[in-house]
Structure 1
Amino acid sequence: MRGGRLLAGAVLSAVAASGAAACTSPSTGDTAASAAPPPSATASETPLENLPVEEVIARARVAGNTLTSLTITLSLPEYREGAVTGTFSQDSSGSCAGRYAVAGKGTTEVVRSGGKVWWKPDASALRASAPDLPASEVGKWFGGSESTTKTFASAFCNMGTALATQVGLNTDGSLGKDLAVAGTRQLDGRKVVVVTMTDENGVPVSYFIAAEGRPYLLSTESGGGKMAVQLGDFGKPVDATPPPDDQVARR
């Protein structure tokens, strides 16, 4: 279903334009993290917000690398084709399940399991992405191969881990510009440390890192609110069951 891939590709273009290009590409090596000095005993007793920004983001990346699973909720309110929202859960085995919606263009479910990807558009998404397909295709899953929709599904499914493990970094693994600790705030009842930076494309990015307990990244915003992602359900099992064969469209 080429139309579905085109719509998803357009959504990902909006993600990249919002300053999240780095988060959709798994890092090939956290050079900045490896260069950071190990936390000292004294530093471990210091409130996170009082540490140097380089140590704050290094600790967040270390915490992110311990995660076995997580869920992201994303929002792109200014996407030109309609506001985009989505929720994706992924685990360290590569399994992923979620859905995204484009305002006025329906909702699409996505499952990745065993290196294969399937996606199921609802009636509105099917009409928007592939208007020539018969109505009998509504409710069917598409895909099922390793190559089908690999780009868009992998980008959505990999986003959470990439965000959690690349705090403060550009696409190439280098540190962002103008990194700074911008105080603390409350986020859904939790105290977070706010870190700001500018990425390699000049896009402002804000990170909201748990100030107590493990310093997980809990939320991030980029492009002045053009994209927002919340992270949670750390360690929760991911149900990414492949669809039954009789529910997969044969095209």
Structure 2
Amino acid sequence: MRTGGDAMAARRLTTCLAASAALLLAPALAPVARASDGDDLSARELADQARNNLLDAESVHLRLTDRSKGVEVSSTQPTSMDLALDRDGNCAGEMEMGRDGGTVEIVKQGDEVWMQPDTDFWKAQVPGSQGEAAAELFENRWIHGSTDDALLKGMADTCDLKTFQKDIGAGNGTAPTLAKGGKTERDGTEVFPLTGRENGTTLTMYVTADSPHRAILITQRGDGTDMSVTFKDYDKPVPTRTPPPGESVDVSRLQEELQSI
């Protein structure tokens, strides 16, 4: 099962999108403007406040999507992740693979991790007839263990909001000039689009018009790139419900059961 590689690919996805966010959210040299109505703030002032609010968030629900050229042809390359995660490393959500590679649900509380692949995921990750047998054997069951296990730790590494925030905060490149668009709506929320260009791609961040000014969507498009990340539920607790023991298989038994198929 190639989940370790998938986790690395998932980490690359979060790093790439964090880098895009870092460009737009790179701090200005001037002091950050005080919170006020978005009509009165410049594009860079709005970006600065969005940056601070994202870096200060205790938790957030984010959806990262990569529809770039070539990504969807690989069943082992993640094309999206939908996760509620916090600074303590807790998370709940799922990761979707390209080209019928299926999805895998993830739950992490403390150092405990649960992972539930669907049928397509098993078939894509386990070669030959073993994949079909594994899909049947582990149908509707969670693989459970701790972050001490390499298989689960790799997947759980995507759950840490602190790491995502660190990637954004570490951005030390020159921030592109941002253009502030007119007020519009995204998912029922009034926002200002802030747009800049970097290395042939167009970066756009939608920041809430009302204070506190928060980023709710960042997109990067151009030169074969089509990526986005949405943010919602700032500072709302990550769901704490964990799968019941009767629906779980200990990760220590996973290889043993796969070998017996």
The alpha-carbon deviation at position 194 of structure 1 amounts to 1.1
More helix per residue: 2
1:114 corresponds to 2:116: no
Q: Give the C-alpha shift of residue 112 in structure 1.
A: 2.6
Give identity over the alignment, percent. 23
Relative to structure 1, is the Cα distance of residues 69 and 11 closer, same or farther in structure 2, using a 3 angstrom cutoff? closer
Q: Who is 1:249 aligned against?
A: 251
Please name the residue that 2:17 is paired with.
Answer: 20
- AA in 1 matched with 2:62: I
Give the Cα–Cα distance (whole angstroms) in 2 for the partners of residues 10 and 31 of structure 1.
Answer: 25
CA distance 1:145–1:155, change in 2 (3 Å): closer
Q: Does 1:59 align with 2:49?
A: yes
Q: Greater shift after overlay, 147-156 or 214-223? A: 147-156
Find the counterpart in structure 1 of residue 188 from structure 2.
189
Partner residue in 2 for 1:158: 161
2:259 aligns with none
Matched residue of 1:57: which SS? helix
**What are the Cα deviations for residues 174-196 of structure 1, in whole angstroms up to 9, with x where unaligned?**
44223332333211121111112
TM-score, normalising length from structure 1?
0.74
Which of 212, 220, 223 aligns to 1:222? It is 220
Deviations 1:172-230 (A, max 9, x none): 3344223332333211121111112345x554321101011310111111134711222
Q: Secondary structure at the match of 1:178?
A: coil
Distance 2:20 2:209 in 1: 22
1:22 to 1:159, Cα distance in 2 relative to 1, 3 A: farther
CA distance in 1, matches of 2:12, 2:108: 21
Amino acid at match of 1:60: A
Q: Check conservation: 1:7, 1:129, Cα contact below 8 A.
A: no
Offset at residue 127 of structure 1 (A): 1.3
CA-atom RMSD in angstroms: 3.5
Q: Structure 2 vs 1, CA of residues 121 and 205 (structure 1 numbering), >3 Å: closer, same or farther?
A: same
**Range moving further from structure 2, 206-215 or 68-77:** 68-77
Structure 2 residue aligned with 1:69 = 59
Greater Rg, structure 1 or structure 2? 2
Count of aligned residue pairs for this structure pair: 234
Matches within 5 A, 1:165-204: 166=168, 172-199=171-198, 202-204=200-202
TM normalised by structure 2 equals: 0.72
